[in-house]
């Protein structure tokens, strides 16, 4: 009687421990998700202009605001006339702090920059077609220019933008479209390369190879899954990148193809191991029945073994895709960005 109560108490204790740990884990995951969502959503409410700086123009300038992309185009020299932005037909003059230092002497600016706010105001007043990028601390209430309102990144610009330059000056660019497309291209290429080879090797290990060969190859393949990604990246950088460069006569070999090949190699152990285990779980009676009915070995494999192990094979494919999509270091090393 005492032992039964003791066992019941232990079972209840273990059950509550599992419930408590599960609740804590679930709560932690929810809090992390909320934190990440909050931080990510905050990007759409923050200014793209470098912190502590402002963009300003002459008060007579008709351009009321500039998008982050337009600011970058101006400072890159791709937009050179205010007419391109809906203003007057006049060339754009760019003013930075270095330009102010060349326009006025040290005595005029002041040893401690005490006259700098007035000189910034004077420079923007005298130059009707100028756009200035100045520290906010030197823009006082007597500033005679017009400070452009800070623009925030929109969801459309974020997901549809073609440039990812978060440290660009004066306006950062947060376009993730190239990142998304690059990830998809490299991952799809990796899966297209890894699936045929992975399935072929898993079929060989499960249905064709002898026990001695299987005992040698299976641990070696599983060992590949534990190699750090930086090692795969170094291998790709030393072997695959030069091979692609020489094969296609390219100036550089850091291409999406190199990334796909490296990711395919990294995904192979997962696909092979999981798919092979699923195939080996096929009941022997089913295979023997197929052979007894006159089916060949290969017919038994693709009509009995593969359909029976389809759920495990799909799991192998999903895990392989997850490995390919989630990899970062090796791809950076062999694609060059």
User: What is the residue extent of each domain of the chain?
Assistant: 2-45, 53-153, 177-335
Compute the radius of gyration of the chain from its Cα atoms. Answer: 32
* 177-335 placed in CATH 1.10.357.10: no
Query: Quick one: fold of 53-153?
Result: D-Maltodextrin-Binding Protein; domain 2 (3.40.190)
pTM for the whole structure: 0.75
What's the confidence (pLDDT) of residue 337?
63
pLDDT band, very low/low/confident/very high, at 141 (cuts 50, 70, 90): confident
Q: What is the mean pLDDT of residues 286-302?
A: 91
Highest mean pLDDT among 86-95, 224-233, 320-329: 86-95
pLDDT, mean of residues 51-76: 91
- HSE at residue 204, side-chain half, CA atoms within 13 A, is 12
**Per-residue pLDDT for 336 more than 80?**
no
**pLDDT given at position 269:** 93
Cβ contacts of residue 246 below 8 Å, gap of 6+?
253
Cα–Cα distances in angstroms (integers) from residue 264 to residues 14, 216, 268, 318, in the given order: 43, 22, 6, 13
Mean pLDDT of all residues in 77-94: 93
Q: Does position 229 have pLDDT exceeding 70, yes or no? A: yes
Q: What mean pLDDT value characterizes the chain?
A: 89
Q: In whole angstroms, how far apart are CA 306 and each of 157, 178, 206, 236, 289? A: 46, 38, 11, 33, 15
The band of 326, judged by pLDDT with boundaries at 50, 70 and 90, is: confident
Q: Is 333 left (phi over 0), alpha (psi -120 to 50) or beta?
A: alpha
Mean pLDDT, residues 58-77 = 91
Handedness of CA 184, 190, 196, 199 (dihedral sign): negative
What is the predicted pLDDT for the residue at 201? 94
Tabulate helix, strand, coil % of the chain (nearest 5): 65, 10, 25
Mean pLDDT within 241-248: 93
| Arithmetic mean of pLDDT, 63-87 | 92
pLDDT of residue 22: 87
pLDDT at 264 over 90: yes
Residue 2, pLDDT > 70, answer: no
Evaluate if residue 246 carries a pLDDT over 70. yes
Q: Convert the pLDDT of each residue in 18-47 to its tens digit.
A: 888 888 999 999 999 888 788 777 778 788
Q: What Cα–Cα distance (Å) separates residue 287 from each residue in 60, 284, 292, 293?
A: 86, 5, 9, 10
Q: What whole-number percentage of the chain has pLDDT above 70?
A: 98
């Amino acid at each position: 009687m005492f032992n039964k109560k003791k066992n019941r108490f232990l079972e209840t204790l273990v059950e509550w421990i599992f419930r408590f740990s599960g609740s804590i884990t679930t709560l932690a995951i929810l809090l992390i998700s909320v934190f990440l969502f909050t931080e990510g959503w905050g990007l759409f409410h923050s200014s793209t202009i470098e912190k502590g700086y402002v963009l300003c123009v002459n008060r007579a300038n008709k351009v009321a605001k500039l998008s982050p992309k337009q600011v970058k185009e101006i400072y890159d020299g791709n937009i050179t006339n205010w007419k391109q932005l809906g203003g007057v037909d006049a060339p754009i003059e760019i003013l930075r702090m270095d330009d102010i230092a060349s326009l006025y002497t040290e005595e005029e600016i002041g040893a401690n920059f005490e006259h700098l706010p007035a000189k910034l105001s004077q420079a923007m007043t005298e130059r009707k077609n100028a756009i200035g990028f100045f520290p906010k601390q030197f823009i006082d209430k007597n500033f005679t220019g017009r400070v452009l309102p800070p623009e925030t990144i929109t969801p459309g610009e974020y997901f549809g933008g073609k440039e990812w330059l978060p440290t660009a000056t004066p306006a950062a660019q947060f376009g993730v479209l190239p990142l998304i497309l690059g990830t998809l291209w490299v991952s799809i290429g990796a899966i297209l390369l890894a699936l045929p080879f992975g399935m072929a090797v898993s079929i060989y290990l499960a249905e064709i190879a002898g026990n001695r060969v299987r005992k040698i190859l299976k641990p070696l393949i599983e060992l590949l899954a534990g190699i750090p990604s930086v090692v795969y990246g170094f291998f790709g950088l030393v072997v695959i990148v030069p091979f692609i460069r020489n094969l296609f006569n390219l100036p550089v070999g850091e291409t999406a193809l190199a990334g796909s090949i490296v990711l395919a190699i990294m995904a192979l152990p997962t696909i092979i191991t999981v798919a092979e285990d699923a195939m080996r779980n096929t009941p022997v009676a089913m295979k023997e029945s197929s052979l007894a009915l006159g089916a060949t070995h290969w017919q038994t494999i693709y009509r009995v073994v593969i359909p029976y192990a389809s759920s495990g094979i799909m799991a192998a494919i999903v895990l392989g895709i997850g490995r390919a999509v989630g990899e970062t270091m090796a791809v950076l090393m062999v694609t060059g960005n």
